[in-house]
Structure formats: structure tokens, C-alpha cells
Amino acid sequence: MIRTLVLVDGEHYPPITRDAIALARSRGHDVVGALLVGGTEKLRPGELPDLGVPVLLPAADPATGVLAAIEDLRPDLVLDLSDEPVLGYRERMAVAAVVLRAGVVYAGPDFRLEPPVAAPVPGGIPSVAVIGTGKRTGKTAIAGALARRADRGGLRPVVVAMGRGGPPDPQLVEAGSVTLARLVELARAGQHAASDYLEDAVTTGVTTIGARRAGGGLAGAPYTSTVAAAVDLAVARDPGLLILEGSGAAIPPFDWGVGILVVPATCPPEYLTGYLGPYRLLRTDLAVVTMAAGPGSGLDDLSVLTSHLRRALGDARVLVTDFTPVPLAEVVGRDAFFATTAPGAVAARQVQQLEATQGCRIVGWSARLADRAGLAEDLDAAGDYDVLLTELKAAAVDVACERALARGAEVVFVDNRAEVVQGTIDLDTALYEAIELAIRRGSER
């Protein structure tokens, strides 16, 4: 028998709900209680319905009531026998987020949602996960900033990055061991030479481990991944901080100490307020909004997005940032071609930033780094340049670097560094506080 909490509403006549609970029992559910989530149309005034099981009174917010009921009754499954309009589409997803965060199965007449696997990090090692709402949100840039901050603090951080293009088996990259020649060698061998763990290694100088994953569920669970084996490799090095980097909207299958959610300024607000966005927020301690050009940027959803984040997390735990491209070597006075995955309008602004801050001349650029055919077309059409400036993403190595080297041009990788444009503290301070919180929580486990 499965220990079960049922959700019911007052829009059903009690005898009908009672029959449904009896059916659930016949199907293997040990119903330990029923939470009345709302509705009064079919109920007698001032009376709780007789459902044959203990009935819990509703809270003002259904999700809050469900969480309290889970803490009280400790079910293994929440069976939702309510319906619209008491729990509409958005409300039901909010309930689902709370149930899954509690590690409980959420099921109904035609659905069953399993909580994502959240294994404990071995050895009580402090851990921070950097997760996102989707692909190209800036997770790698924020994870890189976190790794550099931890490294400056002497914590010997190790980054575990999972990706759709990760290596077949977890691949450990020692700090400082990644060179352009090695990346070209990987690309020529048919491997993904711009995987996130390699970008992390190049931009941070710390030890990184690459893992792979396939698929991503509604709450972010990958269908399969090698992250557990990668974490074992990391733990064997006894790091002072383990950084778990998500992939797209998929999240690492661990119960991390601190969560950092990376949200692009263009993210539709309903990705956080609806669907299973609230689940990610429930696992978040700091939200970093990225790619905002600053106050008055004209991004219609930015104020709605940040308002929701601040209501959920508090003002001090929400930062709005913009990225500045930073070459990893000096390029003053050089003629450069710039390749990026950023949208065209953002790329044009990055070109201006590079020329203004780095003293180089951008003689050509492409925002099609993730489009191999388009990138090749842009590079082949370019005039003379003596240095390629490129992010280490997508087709950076197998297309951009190969063509640049064939021309006799130098290659300099570009990192995206986040700078706060709205927030009560700077990014470095926020990351330091996140690390300290992870250390405290690690010591409590």
C-alpha cells in the first residue's frame, strides 16, 4: 500500500469524492488524509465533508496547505482528486512544484510526476549548483565567476559540468592543462571541443570534469547522465567547493547546498511563474538575471521578471547583470574577427565594447557561432584579420579556429564577464556569500 494524501475540493458532492477515495484504496493507496484545497458549492455551510478519512482544512494558498499537509502526514504520494476551477492550470503547477520539492510523487487521473533524483553530495562537501531556465542563459559564465571567486579564497574548487555534447565517460581536466592545440586535436578526433567543461577550464584555470546527459524533464531531471560518476571523481580530489553546472534547463541530480538560478532578461515570466518554474525557484538561493543592457533597456518583461524573483527570493538575492566580453589575452592594436553565440543586436554592442575597452579593431564579426554553415560563410567572406576573438562554444574550434589557423591568424578566446546593473550588492560579494552559505550547510549535513 502506498501512503497517500488526497487533494479534494468542494465543487464535488462529498459522496462522489468518498467513492473516488474508496477506488483509490482498491488500487493500492493507503489514504491517510484528505486536504480540502478549496471550493464550497457542494458543501453544507460550516461543515467538513464526510469522506471516510481525516479531512484537513485548506490554507489561503493551496500550495502552502499542501506543503503543511505533507510535513504533517509524510505521504509517499499526493493524489489530486480536485479539479478546475479550484485548482486551475497555474495553481496545479504551483502545487506540483511544492510536492516534488518535498520529494513526493504527484499524481492525478491522467498524470504522474516523479520528483527529480536528488542524491546527497558525498562527504558533506560544500556544493553550489548553477542552473538555468534554458539553453544559453549564461550558466557557464556565472559558474566561471563562482569558480574564480572560490579559487581566490583558496578553496580548490572543482567544476562538474554536464552537457548534451559531453564526453562518453567523465573527463577530468587538470587546472591549466587545456591549450588551443589540444582543443583542435579533440575536434579533429570528432569530439565536441567546445563542451562546457572545456570552456570552464579555459576561462577559470581550475580543475573541471565533463559529464554528459540526455533529455530533460518538466522539473529538469535528465533521462540519463554520467554526473554521479563525475561527482565521484571530483570528491576523490577533496575539493573545498564542488560546483555543479546544469545543462539547458536540465539540473544536476544532486541535493546541492546552494542553488544559483541564471535567467536571461528575455525569459518569458511564465517560465518562472507557471509550468514547473516554481520548482526551480524552490531550489534557488540566488537568482542572476543576465544579458540585461541596464536600466531602461526596453526589455518589456524585465520588470515583471525581476518583480516575481524578488517576491520569491527577496531583494538581496536577485541581481540583474549584463555581460562584457573579455579576451583572455591582450589584443591592443590588433585587427580582429569576432565570433559569438549572442543575438545580432547584442553582438553589435559587444563589438563596440571590445573596441572601446580592448583597443582592437573589429574588422568583421559573426553572431552565427552556433550555426556551422552560417559561421563558415561569414568567416570565408571576411577581409584580413590577424586575430580571431571567439567564445569557446558551439562551432568555435572545428569551424572558427580551423579557418583562422589556416589563414595564419592567432586565436584568442573571449570570456563573458557579468557586471551588476541592478541589485543591492555586486556579483563578487553575492558569490562570496553563496560560498559561505554552502560551507555552513555542508557542515550541518
pLDDT surpassing 60 at residue 166? yes
Domain boundaries, the chain: 2-113, 119-324+420-444, 327-414
Residue found under cell 498524470: 111
Please give the span between the terminal C-alpha atoms of the chain, in angstroms, as a whole number: 31
Give the residue with greater pLDDT, 299 vs 156.
156
Q: What is the spatial distance between Cα 423 and Cα 425, in angstroms, rounded to a whole number?
A: 6
Band of residue 300 on the pLDDT scale cut at 50, 70, 90:
low
pLDDT at residue number 288: 97
In contact, 240 and 156? CB cutoff 8 Å: yes
Q: What single-letter DSSP state applies at residue 135?
A: T
Bridge-based pairing of strands 258-264 and 207-214 is unpaired
Q: 369-386: per-residue pLDDT in tens?
A: 999 999 999 999 999 999
Question: What φ, ψ does residue 262 adopt, rounded to 5°?
Answer: -105, 120
Mark out the alpha helices in 334-421 (DSSP H runs): 344-358, 372-380, 402-407
Q: What is the spatial distance between Cα 16 and Cα 181, in angstroms, rounded to a whole number?
A: 71
pLDDT at residue number 342: 87
Query: For residue 58, what is its C-alpha cell?
Result: 485548506
pLDDT at residue number 98: 97
* Beta-carbon count within 10 A of 289 CB: 29
pLDDT surpassing 60 at residue 354? yes
Q: What single-letter DSSP state applies at residue 51?
A: -
pLDDT at residue number 57: 86
Residue found under cell 540566488: 286
**Percentage of the residues of the chain whose pLDDT score is greater than 70:** 98
pLDDT at residue number 295: 47
| Residues 389-409, mean pLDDT to the nearest whole number | 95
Band of residue 296 on the pLDDT scale cut at 50, 70, 90:
very low
| Residues 186-197, mean pLDDT to the nearest whole number | 92
Q: 327-350: per-residue pLDDT in tens?
A: 999 999 999 999 999 888 889 999
Q: What is the spatial distance between Cα 427 and Cα 420, in angstroms, rounded to a whole number?
A: 6
| Residues 88-96, mean pLDDT to the nearest whole number | 93
- The secondary structure of 247-274 as a DSSP string is BTTB--SEE-SEEEEEEETT--THHHHS
Give the residue with greater pLDDT, 162 vs 176.
162
Instruction: Answer whether 2-113 and 119-324+420-444 agree in fold.
Output: yes
- Quote the pTM value: 0.93
The CA–CA distances, whole Å, from 51 to 9, 34, 37, 48 equal 11, 8, 14, 9
Question: What φ, ψ does residue 403 adopt, rounded to 5°?
Answer: -70, -40
Q: 108-138: per-residue pLDDT in tens?
A: 999 999 999 999 999 889 999 999 999 989 9
pLDDT surpassing 70 at residue 241? yes
Band of residue 298 on the pLDDT scale cut at 50, 70, 90:
low
What angle, 0 to 180 degrees and rounded to 10, lies between the N-to-C axes of helices 139-152 and 196-204? 40
Q: What is the spatial distance between Cα 58 and Cα 323, in angstroms, rounded to a whole number?
A: 45
Peptide bond into 85 cis (omega under 30): yes
Q: What is the spatial distance between Cα 312 and Cα 314, in angstroms, rounded to a whole number?
A: 6
Which has the minimum average pLDDT: 72-76, 198-202, 312-316? 312-316
pLDDT at residue number 53: 96
The second-level CATH assignment, the architecture, of 119-324+420-444 is 3-Layer(aba) Sandwich (3.40)
| Residues 289-308, mean pLDDT to the nearest whole number | 76
Q: What is the spatial distance between Cα 220 and Cα 125, in angstroms, rounded to a whole number?
A: 23
Which has the minimum average pLDDT: 222-236, 280-294, 388-402? 280-294
2-113 homologous superfamily: NAD(P)-binding Rossmann-like Domain (3.40.50.720)
Secondary structure of residue 444 in the 3-state scheme: helix
pLDDT at residue number 376: 95
In contact, 155 and 431? CB cutoff 8 Å: no
Band of residue 418 on the pLDDT scale cut at 50, 70, 90:
very high
Q: What is the spatial distance between Cα 287 and Cα 314, in angstroms, rounded to a whole number?
A: 10
The second-level CATH assignment, the architecture, of 327-414 is 3-Layer(aba) Sandwich (3.40)
- Non-local (6+) Cβ contacts of 399 within 8 A are 372, 375, 376, 379
